[in-house]
Each structure stands twice: as C-alpha cells, then as structure tokens.
Structure 1
Amino acid sequence: MWRNYLTVGVRSLAKNRAYALINILGLAIGMAACILILLFVRYEFTYDRFLGNAENTYELQSFYTSRETGQQFNIQMTSYVAGTMLKKDFPQVEKSVFALSSSPVVLKEGQATAANDILMVDGPFFDIVQFPFAVGNPATALAQAGSVVLTEAEAVKRFGTTNIIGQTMTMVTRGRTMDFRVTGIVKNPPKNSSFNLTIVARIDPVSFFSEQPEFMREWGWQSGWVFVQLKPGTDPKTLQAQFPAWEKRNIADENVGDLRYNAGDEQDWRLVNVRDIHLGEAQGAAMSPGNDERTVYTFAVIALLILGMACVNFTNLATARASQRAREVALRKVLGANRRQLIGQFVGESILVAAIAMLVALALAELLLPLFSNFLDARLQLRYFGADGVLLPIVGLVIVVGVAGGLYPAFVLSRFQPARVLKANRSAADTEGSGRLRSILVVGQFAVSIGLIICTAIIYAQTMYAQSVDPGYRRDGILQVEDFGRRQIESRRETLKDEIRRVEGVTLVAGTGMGVNTRNNSSRGFQIPGRREFVTIGTYAADPEWVDAMGIRMLAGRKLDRNRPADDATVPFPEDPVAEQALARRGVNAVVNALAARRLGFATPADAVGKTVHTSMVDSEKYGLTPVTIVGVMDDSRFRSIRTPIDPMMITRNDNNADVLVVRYTGDPRAVRDRIEQAWKKIVPDAPFEANFSEDIVRELYAKEAARAQMFAAFAVLAVVVGCLGLFGLATFTAERRTKEIGIRKVLGARTRDIVRLLVWQFSRPVLIANLIAWPVAWWVMRDWLNSFDSRIALGPTPFLLAGALALAIAVATIGSHAFRVARANPIHALRYE
C-alpha cells in the first residue's frame, strides 16, 4: 500500500512540475533559513558551556540605580572589596578570585609589543573558571604570584611553540617591570566564550596596588571582575537574598562635608552563572561583548515565521489543486478506499515533498553557512551526528512540516463525494470551496513580510541616524592614540606631545581621560549649598587644548588655560600630602557641559560661570572637600553609544589621568598617522603605538546595529520571496479554475485590461488587508526597540507606507504578467467543449 502511495505521489509531482518546483523551492528556502537561524540561536545559548564545573561558577555583578535620575547601570565589574567580603562572610562560597583587565607592554629581546586581553588575577583563576588545559595543572598553574598562563595561540605568537613551561615572560605595567614564570598553557577559547583572554598573570594585590591602597577597600571602585565557586548544592537565589543585610553590615556611612554618603545606597549585587553572562542583564564593563536575549528570541521567532510561511504556501497550493485531484479521490472511494487511507496518502505525499525540500535546504545551508558565520563573526557548525548533531531534529522537522502543511489539504481532499464529482457534465474545476482560508493565509504571509520590511527600514534608519547625528563634537579629522597614560612614558609625555605637534598636518594635540568611546567611567559627588544630597557628575582630566581639538562649542565662560595656576588640578602620584592639602585649600577651576550645569541647579550656562561647588578631589577625610569654580560651560557631547545617555561632565586639567591622546589633523589620514607613528617611536620606542580614527571607532561602535539591520533585511527578502512564490502558484491555479469564466467574460466584451484588473485586484486585496495587521504590530515592536536608545528617530508613517507600497508592488508584479497572459488567451480554448 505504501509503495503504491509513494508511486502515486512521485507521479503527481512529475505531472505538475510547476507546482512541485514552487512547493519544494518555497519549503527549501524556509527550511534553510530556519536551520541557519536556529544554529545561530543555539550558538548564542551555548556560551561558556565548555567550562568545567560551570554549574557552580558565578560572577558577582553590580547593579546601579541613580537616585537623581532613576537610570539603571548594570555592569559586570565590581569592587575588589566586594569579592573579599563575600568570600569572608558566606561559607557557601568555596573559592573566589579577582580579575583585572590590563594592557601591559611585553618585552622580548629589547623589543616592546602591545599585549591585549590580559588579565591580572589575585588567585588560582583556572581552579575556579575551569578552562581546558593543553599543558599544566589548572589547580596549581597560578598558585603563586609571578606565574603566568598563556593560550596556545598566544604561546605560539610569543615563543613559537607551546613547549614553554618554566620560561620567563617580562611585562611592564603601572611603570614597573615584572617577570612572570610560565606555568601553564590553556586551549584557545572557543568563539562562544565570554572570556576574552590571551594571557592570565597572577599578582600580589597588596604590592601591585601599593600606590593606590584605596583600590582594595573602596566599595564604589568598580574596576574588575569577581568570580566565585559555590559549594555543590548551594542555591544562589537563597544566598543572594541575604545580600541586603550583608551590605548593611559591611558598608559604613561616610561623612563628606556636611552630607552622609553610603556606597551601597545606589547599588546592589547579584550572582550570575557564567553560562548566563553572555545574554544576561548586565552588559556594561563586559570582558567581551554580549548579546540581548530578546534579540536572539526575536530571530528564533522570525525563523519559525519564515518556515510557517513556507508551510502556508504548501497548504494554499494543495487546496487550490484540490480540483485537479477530485476525480482521483472519487475513483479511489468508488474502488473501496476509506477516508483514513486517503488522509494517510496525502499526508505521506506532503512528507515526501518536505523530505525533498529538506535535502535542498541542507545543500543551501551548507553553502551559505561559511558566509553566515563570517558575517556574524561566529563559529557555526552543521553536524549531523554526535551530541550536537542535527539529524534527529531534521527528521522531526520534516515530519512536522509535512504533517502541518499536508493535514488540512488531506482532510479537504478526502471529503469529496464521488457522486457529485463523477456525475455527467461535471467539470473538475467546479469543486466546492470559497477559498476563504487561502485568502486568510495569504494575508498572514504578507503581514509577516510587510512587518519585516518595516522593521528593516526602521532599524536601518536608526543605525544611519546614530552614525550621522551631531554628537556635539567634530568627528572628522580626529586620530585617537590609545594608552597614552602608560607609566613608562610619563616623564616623556610633554616631549612626545611637542614632537607630534610638529608633524605635518597636525593642528592640535591634547591629552585626555575622555575620548571617543573610551571605556573609563569616573564620577564624583558634588555638594551644592542648600541641598542635602550629593549631585553625581562625571569628572575627567583633559588638557586645555582638548575642547578645540574635539571641536566642542563653548556656550558660556572660557576654556581652561595653561597660564593660570588655578586651572591645574595635577598633584604628584603617588600621593603627596603637601600638594594635596594645598589643592584642597586653594581649589581648582573647571569646565562643565550644559547637562552638568543643569544637574548642579543652574538655569542657564551663563548662570553657572563663576559659581563654586565642592567635591573630594583629594582625600576628603584628611583634607576636606575641595572648592571647584566653574569657569566655562561647553556644549553637551555624546562620546559613547547613542544607547547610553549623555554624561553630565566636568573637565579639569590633571596630567596624571590623561590616558588618551587626541590629535586634530588635516590632509591624508593614513599619511598623517604614519608620520605620527614615526614621531612616537622616536620619543618612546619602548611603548607600542596604537591609534584609531574617530570615524572607525564610531563605525565599530554601531557595527552590531548595522549587522542586525542587514540580518533583518535578509530575512525580509526571504519572507517576500517565499510569499511571492506562494502567491504566484496560487494565482496560476486560480486562473486555471476560472478559465471558463474568463472565456465567457471575453465573449461578452471584456477587454484584456479588464480581465487583468480583475485578477490583480483579487490578489491585491489580501496584501492591503495585511497592512492593517502588520502596521500596529510593527509599530509596537519598533517603539519598544527605539526606546532602548537615548536619542532616536521619530516613528513616523513613512516606513509603514513605503513597506505597504513595496509589498503591493511586488504582489502586483508577481501576478500581473501571469494575469496578462491568461487574459489574452483565446476564449475558444476555454469554451470549445461547452
């Protein structure tokens, strides 16, 4: 019996090649898209699954809520003291380790090279975060300070081999030259890892932070990652429920001036499993870029929608073809076939089509997978066997798609009555059915297509807006030199700036702690007369030339001046009590942006000029608050992502905190960069040169948004293609069923354009109705997405109207040519047997 069903099914496909091609191609596209997207979704949810004992390994994260604005800042970093006190106060915490990101210089044979993605840790890091080792013992590799572990790739890069246990690696960091002994080699982390590391070195924190002892005791100093290993069976939620009481026990109030301050008032701590870091709520100060869990789920929904559209095509075309198989069904019933057998036959044929489509889909997926992986910068793999094999899911998908696409047509076909179908002069095209379900399904298909087109247009427009909106400074003509604050160049910093100023094409040079997308965050609480709470303002160092170098407009007052001693807040480092006391007594001048002026209570920029506020520029417990006089107000500038609110900002001159060098230039960018690099190597040959153009930094900042727009565009195109395939097939078969009607209309005088208009209108109505469904859904989704940006485009009607018009134009173009061919046919061919 099943052999007969298979034979009939194959013959049916061979007899109707156009139907078979449309069905198989539509299903194949939908399946291939579904496979690729679900591979990406699975990849995103498998981050850090390779770590040993991952179920008991957690990261301690800080969650801030500003009392002034209510803004939330969820960051993966936390303070050093939080980790030490957590281990001390909770016996459920078996082990803990603090990791600090560092960019030291590696010295080898007198040559200095940059080292990126380096972690300085205070304990046996790999005993907690259990990476697989290639050489060495993870439990003892970092047992002592002065030991270092490299990845396989980094070992080969630095030494040419992984057989380097016992060798010495020399690094310069914080102005000190330190020797580390290689004690282990870890396997290269996979792409789906939240740990972006190449070298992990153990330090003694007491000596390492001897110049800044407050680093180890200040609860508000968020500058590293704390990882803990809980004892087996520990419930992290139960442990976390005790954190509020733990905060009160450990974080004491501080009296700063006349006000009380507590570092725990605005922040809470959470334990997050390492496998949940990548898609977790906290993405600020991440070791490597994470992703948004909602975005991943959105792509999964899109994959299922595209697959559902392909199934809708199958259902539509199968029910439209019902008239062509009515006589077959009737004859089978006359010969004794029951309804169950007929349903089994047609569902089996549907599964056969799904199986053929799956083979085509797998071929497409294999061909597109390398391109898709490179585009996402991911390592997606399509394996059929093993723990992560997809063979069983593929078989299940074939069955589900086959049954979902064929079940309703099977019920429709199997209910035909033989007497009505086989009676004399009954045309096969006269089978009953209004086609209402087909119209509903077409509406659903185009609603999805239109919704994706709208989302694509809005995402693209917002991405372009983010890159082109006025940030408050001049983006063009800026070269940003990183790691300008390295301690080994401290004594040559001014000489280096003078040398770069003499480079052809360079117009301005300024050291700063705030540049384009610099990741540092530094803020202080300011005491305002008459207010009982501090006002938090971001405080950064910058040379007096920085405002002009960035091209920022002054709104009131003046810029900082090198010739005015009160404009200089520089004090020796390490701390000098005499200099700090002198600064606290005399005060310092500063420039603020317009937002900071408003936060400080001034109605206009001019009102702020000449006013004095107080803050702890130096140790306030010893020297009291420092008076800060505002001498100028500059325009607000957006240096970070458009998702992040603009910082209220205060700029002071402090040469010790200028970590970035901003160079304003004219002329050929590459030539200027090369000349600056030569000047750098002339003055500081022992420090590597790293510089980026501001345009490149901004482009990289929004690379993820641009990639998301491109992915949505690709999905929208696939959805439209699948929808048009179904629409074309449906129009073809519907026109065949209406051949006699069209012939009669022509005999009665209807012109070709009248027939074309009739057919085009019939298939355009579902597209118009689809707009009514797609528009409100897309508006709701995009409004929520745009609200995640601090500055955004207006959600106007243009993308909705354009998407609707484009979908209608595509639908008309799809069916128009076929309608024209049908309308021009000679009516005698339709009516010759009547």
Structure 2
Amino acid sequence: MWRNYLTVGVRALGKNKTYALINILGLAIGMAACLILLLFVRYELTYDEALPGSENAYQFQTYYTDPDTGEEGNLQMAAYATKQALLKDFPQIDQIVYAQWSGPVVIKDGEAFDVEDFKFVDGPLFEILQFPFVQGNPGTALAQPGSIVLTESEAEKRFGNENPMGQTLTVVAQGVNTDYRVTGIIQDPPKNSHVKLTMAARYDPATYWADNPDFLTSFGWQSGHVYVKLKPGTDPQAINSQLQAWEKRNIPDQFFGGQRFNQGDQADFGLVNIRDVHLGEAQDGAMTPGNDRRSIITFAIVALLILGMACVNFTNLATARASQRAREVALRKVLGANRKQLIVQFIGESVLVAAFAMLLALAMTELALPVISNFLEADLALNYFGEGGLILPILALVLVVGAAGGIYPAFYLSRFQPAQVLKANKSSAEAQGTGRLRNVLVVSQFAVSIGLIICTAVVYLQTVHARTADPGYNREGLIQIAGIGRRQLEPVVEPLMREIGKIDGVVGTGRTTIGIATGNSSNTGVQLPGRDQPINIGQYYIDDGFFETMGIDLLAGRTFDENRPADSSERPFPEDPAAEQAFAARGANVVVNELAAKRMGFASSQQAVGKTLKAALVDPEYGGMVPVTIIGVVEDSRFRSVREPIDSIMFFYAPNFVNELLVRYDSDNPAAVRDRIEGVWKRMAPEVPFDAKFSEEIIGELYEAEDARATIFAGFAVLAVIVACLGLFGLAAFTAERRTKEIGIRKVMGARSRDIVRLLAWQFSKPVIIANLIAWPVAWWVMRDWLNTFDARIDLGLTPFVLAAIIALAIAIGTIAGHALKVARANPIHALRYE
C-alpha cells in the first residue's frame, strides 16, 4: 500500500512539472530561510551555555538612572569597591574576581606592541569562567601576582612554534614595567561568549593603584567587571533582593561644600548569570556587542513567517489544482477507496514534496552558512548528529510542514462525491469557499511581504541616518590616535605634537579624554542654586586645539587660551594635597556644551557665559566642591552611537590628563598622511605602539554589528517576497488555465487583449491592496517601537509605506503578466473547439 502511495505521489508530481517545481522550490527557500534564521536565533540564545559551571557564574552589574532626565546607563561593569563589600555580606559567594579593562603595552624581545582585550585580574578568574585549558592548571595558573594566561591564538601570535609556558612578557602599565610569567594557555573564547579576552594577568590592585588609592574605595568608579561564583544551590534572586539594603550599609555618604552626596543614590546593582549577559538590559561597558531579546524574537518570527508562506503556497496550489484531480478521487472511491485512505495518500504526497524540498533546503543552507557566518562574525554550524545535532528537528520539520501544507487539501479533495463529479462526464469540481480561502491566503502572504518591505526600508533609512546625521563636529578628515596619555610619552609629548603639526597635509591637532566612540565615560556632580542634590554633568579634559580640530562651533563666549593661567585645570599626578587644595581655592574656567547649559538652568548660551557654579572636582578632604566659571558654550556633539543620548559636558583645559589625539588633515591621500604621522611617532616614541584610525573606520566599526543584522534582515525579507511571488506565479498559471474558455468567449464577444490582461491583473491586484491595509498599521507599530530605541532617529513618514505598496503591486502584476498576455493573445478557437 505504501509503495503504491509513493508511486502515485511521484507520478502526480511528474505529471505537472511546473506545479512540482514551484512547490518544491518555494518550500525549499522557506525551509532554508527558516533553518538559517533559527540557527542564528539558537546561536544568540546560547551565549556561554557551553562554559562548564556557567549555572553558578554571575556578573555583578551597575544600573544608573539620572533623576533629572530619566536617562538610564546600564553597565556590565562595577566598581572595585563592590568586591569586598559583597564578600563581607554574602557568605553564599564561593569566589569573586575583579577583571580590569586595560590597554597596556606588552614588550617581548625588545619589541613593544598593543594587546587588545587585555585584562588585569586579582584572582583565579578561570575558576569562575571555566574556559578549557590547553596548558597549565586552572586552579594555580593565576594563583600569584606576576602570572599571565594567554589564549591559544595569542600564544601562537607571540611565540610561534615555541612553547610559551614559563616564558616572560613585560607589561608596561601606569608607567611601570612589570615582568609576567606565562602560566597557562586557554582555548580561545567562542564567538558566542560575552567575554572577549587575549591575555589575563594577575596583579596586585593596591600596588597598581598606589598613586590613585581612591579607585579601591570609590563606588562610582567603574573600570572593570566583577565576576562571582555562587555556591551550588544558592538562589541569586535572594541576593538581588537584599542589594538595596546592602547599598545603604556599604556605600558611605560624602559631603561636598556641606551638601550630602551618596554614590548609591542613583545606582542599583544586580547579579546576572553569564548566560544572560549577552541579551541582558545592561549593554554599556560590554566586551562584545550585545543584542536584545526583542530582535531575536523578531528573527524567529520572520523565520516562521517565511516557512508559513511556503506552506500557504502549497495549500493554495493544491486547492487550485484540485479541480484536475476530482475525477481521480471519484474513480478511486468507485473502486473502493475510503476517505481515510485518500487523506493518508494526499498527506503522504505532501510529505514527499516536503522531503524533496528539505533536501534542497539543506543544500542551500550548507552553501549559505559560511557566507552568513563570516558576514555576522558568528560560528553558525549545521550539525546533524551529536550534541546540538539537528537530524531529529529536521525530520520533524519535514513531517510538520508536509502535514501543515497538505492537511487542508487532503480533507478537501477526499470529500468529493463520485456521482457529482462523474455525472455528465464532469471533469472538474470546485468546492464552495475554496476561492475565498485562496484569496485570504494570498492576502496574508502579501501582508507579510509588504510588512517586511516596510521594515527593511525603515531599517535602511535609519542606518543611513545613523552614519550621516550631523554629529555636531566635522567628521570627515580626522585621524584618531590612542595612547597619547601614556606615561612613557610624557617627556616627548609636546615635541611630538609639534612635529605632527608640521607634517604636510596636517592642518590641526587636539587632545581629549572623550574622542569618537572611545567608550570613555566620566561625570561629576554640579551644584545648582536652590537644589539639595547636584546634577550629573560629563567631565572631560581637552587641550586648546581640540575645538578647532574637531570643527565644533562656538555659540557664545570664548574657548581656552594656554596663555591664561586661570583656564588651566592641570594638577600633578599622583595627587599632591597642596596642589589639590590650591585648585579647590582658585577654581577653574570651563567650556560647556549647549545641553549642559540648559541642564544648568540657563535660558540661552549667552546667559551662561560668566556664571560661576560649584562642581565636585577634588576629594572632600581637599575642599570637595570647586568653583567653576563658564567662559564659553559650544555646540552639542554626538561622540557615541545614535542609540545613546548626547552627553551634557563640561570641558576642562588639562593637556596632561588626556589620552586621545585627534589630527585634522586636508589631503587627497589620507593614507600617506597617516604613514607620515606614524613615521614621526615611531622615531620619537618607539616604545609606544602607534594605534591610529580614520574617523570613517571608527564609525564603521561602531555600527558594524547592527548593519550586518539589518542586511541579513533585508535579505530574508527579499526571500519572503520571492516565496510569495512563486505562489502567485503558480496560482496565476492555474487560474489562467481554468478561465481559458471564459476568456475565449470574451474575445469572441469583442474583448481586446488589453481588456483581458486588465481583468486578470485586477483579480490579483485586489488582494495586494487589501494586504496593504493590514500590513501598514502593524509595520507602523513595530517600527515606531524600534525607532524609539534611538536617540537620533528618522521620522516615520509615508515614504516607506507607499514605496512598499508600489513594489508589492508591481511584483504582483509583473508575476502574472506573462500568463495574462499568453492567455489574452491565444486564439479563442482553441479554447472553444470542444464546445
């Protein structure tokens, strides 16, 4: 019996090759798209799940909310001071380690190089983050200060074929050279890990921060990550519920100018399992670009929609083709077949189509995955067997898709009555309501397609806007060089700046602590008259060439002048008590941006100039609140992503505190200018690696992950449209064939070819018009919420909606135009010869 069903199914497909090709190709595209998207969704949802002990490993995060603006800053980072406070109050903690962000210079065999993703740690990090060790012992590798662990790729990069174990690397940090012995090699963290790491060195924080001991006790200074290993069976929510009381016990009050200030007033804390970090609310200070669950859910929905559209195609074509199989069903019933057997037969045929489609889909997936993985910088893999193997889900998908696509046609075809079909040599039958069903399904398909086209257009326009929106400075013609604040450069920094300024093509230089998308964030409290609590304003240091180099416009007052001592906020480092007290007594001149002036309560930029306020710039023991006089107001500038609000900023003139160098160039050969700068740098500071990027590179990297996801989304939106077109093409072919005699009669009665084409075009245009009415409000609602996640966003106008409607209508008409013309031009004699 089953062999007979298989034979009949194959013959049925072979009898109508167009029907078979459309069905199998449509289902294959739908299945391949679904598989790829679901592999991506699984990849995003399984960050750090493969890490042993991940169920007990947590990251301690900090969440800020500005009481004045409501702006949130959710950090994956936490202050060093939280570590001892947590250990003291929560015996459920088994281990806790602080991992500090750092960008030191590493020297090997006399050659200096920068190391990305270097971490200083104060404990056995790899007993919490249990990355597999290739060499060494995870329990002892970071047991003592002076030990360092490398990843496999970094060890190969630095040591080649030489055994790195026991070798020495010199790390230059805080102006001090320290030797570290290699005590372990770990496997590279997988790409679906929130941890980005190349070297981890065990250090002594007290020694490292001897010149700045406030770092060890301040709860407001985040420069690293706190990782916690809880004892088995511990409920992390029980700890999280106690953290508000923990804050009050451990974060001390401070007094600036007689006003109470507590760093915990605007902060909350929480333990987050490392498996939830990637998709968590806290994405500031992340080692790797995160994602959000809403985006992942969106991709999953798109995958299921594309697959659903492919199933709709099958149902549509099966019901349309049913008229050709009416006599076959009737004869089978006359010969003794019951309805159950017919249902099994037709569902079996549907599963057979799904099986053929799945084989093609798997081939498509295997070919597309490497390209998509490389594009997304992800390790997407299609494994059939073993852990994470998909053979059972694939088989289940074939059965589900086959049943979903074939169940309605099976029940519909099997209910034909032999007498009605065979009476008067009747060769076709159309059950009541099937035409309406097909129209509903076509409307649904095009509603999905139009919605995806709208979303793709909005995402594209917002992406372009993010890259091209005016940032408040002249973005073109800039080179940003990191590391200008390294202590090794102190003796040569001024001569180096002068030499760079003399280079042909260089027209300006400026130094800062903020720069373009550096991730640096610093703020301080500013006391306003009539307020008990200070407001938070960004605090960044610059030199006198910064504003001109960046092209930031002055709105009122003046900028800094190196010849005016009152403009300078420079003090010795490490802190000198006498200098700090003198600074607190004399005060400082500052330049603020327009947003800061507004937050300080000034109605205009001009009104702010000359006003004096107090800011928390020095330790309370040296005076705390320092008088600051506003000498100028500059235009607001966006130094970070368009997702983040523009900073309200106070700029201080302190060239000895800066760490980024901006170089403005005017040349037709930017690469040559960069090379000349590098030549000067290496000649004057050979022990400090040269790390320079064009502003275009930085902006590209800033939006790289987001652009990649948007491109993938657009690609799958196109696939959805292709699937819809395949279904419409097949449906148009069968509709045109079924109406051949009607069209022949119309032509005999005088209808012209264009009238026939218009008739068929209108039949398939109506569902598209209705689909627009469904898709527009849904797409508007989804895109409005998505755009609200950006601080700088496009207006959600009519253009994407009208464009999607025109595209969908053009696609629909273009798809059926060939059939319409063919039928309209046919000789009516051939259609009516049997009448």
> What TM-score results when the alignment is normalised by the length of structure 1?
0.99
2:145 matches 1:153: no
Amino acid at match of 1:444: S
Letter in 1 for 2:241: A
Q: Distance in 2 between matches of 1:621 and 1:315?
A: 79
Q: Shift of the alpha carbon at 1:813?
A: 0.4
1:760 aligned onto 2:758: no
CA distance in 2, matches of 1:205, 1:830: 91
* Correspondence 1:403 to 2:395: no
The alignment partner of 2:141 has SS state of: coil
Alignment of 1:832 onto 2:818: no
| 1:210-249 equivalences in 2 (<5 Å) | 210-249=210-249
Does structure 2 retain, via aligned residues, the 8 Å contact 1:61–1:271?
A: yes
1:622 Cα deviation after fit: 2.5
Letter in 2 for 1:330: A
Matched ranges for 1:450-599 at <5 A: 450-599=450-599
Q: Please state how far the C-alpha of 1:314 moved relative to its aligned partner.
A: 0.2
Matched, 1:309 2:326: no
Q: Which string of whole-angstrom CA distances, capped at 9 and with x for unpartnered residues, describes residues 345-389 of structure 1?
A: 000000000000000001111111111111111111111110111
Once the two structures are TM-superposed, the CA of residue 624 in structure 1 deviates from its matched residue by 3.6
- Is 1:193 the counterpart of 2:193? The answer is yes
Unaligned runs of 5+ in 2: none
* 2:104 matched residue in structure 1: 104
Distance 1:624 1:728, change over 3 A: closer
SS of structure 1 residue aligned to 2:49: coil
Query: Is the 2:322–2:430 Cα contact (8 Å) retained in structure 1?
Result: no
The range that moved more, 20-29 or 83-92, is 83-92
Match of 1:294 in 2: 294
The answer on 1:674 being equivalent to 2:675 is yes
User: What's the counterpart of residue 268 of structure 1?
Assistant: 268
Q: For residues 607-653 of structure 1, what are the alpha-carbon distances to aligned partners after superposition, in whole Å with 9 as ceiling and x for unaligned?
A: 11000011122223322421111000000011110111000001111
CA RMSD of aligned residues (A): 1.1
Cα displacement (A) at 1:129? 1.3
| Offset at residue 110 of structure 1 (A) | 1.6
Deviations 1:730-759 (A, max 9, x none): 011111111221121112111111111111
> Contact 1:36–1:369 at 8 Å: present in 2 too?
yes
Aligned-residue offset at 1:429: 5.6
Aligned residue for 2:424, secondary structure, equals: coil
Does the CA contact (< 8 Å) of 2:256 and 2:623 recur in 1?
Answer: no
Report if the CA contact (8 A) 2:421-2:428 is conserved: yes
Q: Are the counterparts in 2 of residues 5 and 348 from structure 1 also a CA contact under 8 Å?
A: yes
Q: Can you list the C-alpha shifts for 1:488-507, whole angstroms capped at 9, x where unaligned?
A: 11222111111111111111
Counterpart residue identity of residue 304, structure 2: L
Q: Which amino acid aligns with 1:695?
A: E
Residue of structure 2 in register with 1:732 after alignment: 733
Shift of 1:656: 2.9
Could you tell me which residue of structure 2 aligns to residue 86 of structure 1? Answer: 86
State how far apart, in whole Å, the 2-side matches of 1:664 and 1:681 are.
20
Task: Return 5-14 or 100-109, whichever deviates more.
Answer: 100-109
Partner of 2:178, secondary structure, is: strand
- Alpha-carbon distance in structure 1 between the residues aligned to 2:770 and 2:600: 54
Q: Structure 1 residues 159-168 or 269-278, which shifts more?
A: 159-168
> Secondary structure at 2:189's aligned position in 1?
coil
Is the CA contact (8 Å cut-off) linking 2:557 and 2:609 kept in structure 1?
Answer: yes
Question: What is the CA–CA distance in structure 1 between the aligned matches of 2:771 and 2:617, rounded to whole Å?
Answer: 62
**Structure 1 runs not aligned, ≥5 long:** none
Tell me, yes or no, if structure 1 residue 790 matches structure 2 residue 805: no
Q: After the TM superposition, which of the residue ranges 122-131 and 801-810 deviates more from structure 2?
A: 122-131
Q: Secondary structure of the equivalent of 1:101?
A: strand
Distance 2:376 2:611 in 1: 51
Q: Is the 8 A contact 2:105 2:115 kept in 1?
A: yes
Q: How far apart are the structure 2 equivalents of 1:131 and 1:426?
A: 72
CA distance in 2, matches of 1:752, 1:553: 66
Deviation string 1:673-705 (CA, Å, 9 cap, x unpaired) is 000000101110000000011121112212223
Q: Structure 2: how far apart are the matches of 1:617 and 1:265?
A: 19
Report how far residue 289 of structure 1 moved: 1.4
Shift of 1:162: 6.4
Which residue identity does 1:698 align to in structure 2?
Answer: I
Q: Is the CA contact 2:327–2:427 (under 8 Å) kept in the aligned structure 1? A: no
Report the alpha carbon displacement of residue 433 of structure 1 after superposing the two structures with TM.
4.7
The amino acid of 1:696's aligned partner reads: E
Question: What SS does structure 2 have at the residue aligned with 1:428?
Answer: coil
Q: Report 1:627-706 matches (<5 A).
A: 627-667=627-667, 668-706=669-707
Contact 1:98 / 1:224 at 8 angstroms: preserved in 2? Answer: yes
Match of 2:45 in 1: 45
**Contact 1:155-1:162 at 8 Å conserved across structures:** no
Amino acid of the residue matched to residue 272 of structure 1?
V
Contact 1:155 1:161 (C-alpha < 8 Å) held by counterparts:
no
Distance 1:379 1:319 in 2: 42
Partner SS, residue 490 of structure 2: helix
Give SS of 1:423's match.
Answer: helix
CA distance in 2, matches of 1:17, 1:159: 61
Paired AA for residue 446 in structure 2: F
Contact 1:429 1:737 in 2 (8 A): no
* Shift of residue 430, structure 1, vs aligned partner: 5.8
Q: Which residue type is aligned with residue 807 of structure 1?
A: A
Q: Which amino acid aligns with 1:739?
A: T
2:752: which partner in 1?
751
* Residue 296 of structure 1, CA deviation: 1.2
User: How has the CA–CA distance of structure 1 residues 267 and 624 changed in structure 2, closer, same or farther, with 3 Å as cutoff?
Assistant: closer
Verify: 1:815 aligned to 2:816, yes or no. yes
CA distance in 1, matches of 2:708, 2:195: 22
Tell me how far 1:434 sits from its aligned partner: 4.7
Any conservation in 2 of the 1:279–1:293 contact (CA below 8 Å)? yes
The number of residue pairs the alignment matches comes to: 834
* Match status 1:771 vs 2:762: no
After superposition, give the CA deviation of every residue in 1:764-784 in whole Å (9 maximum; x if it has no partner).
Answer: 100010000100000000000
- Bigger drift between 665-674 and 257-266 goes to 257-266
Contact map agreement 2:450 2:772 (CA 8 A) in 1? yes
**CA distances 1:211-245 after superposition (whole Å, capped 9, x unpaired):** 11110101111111000000000011111101111
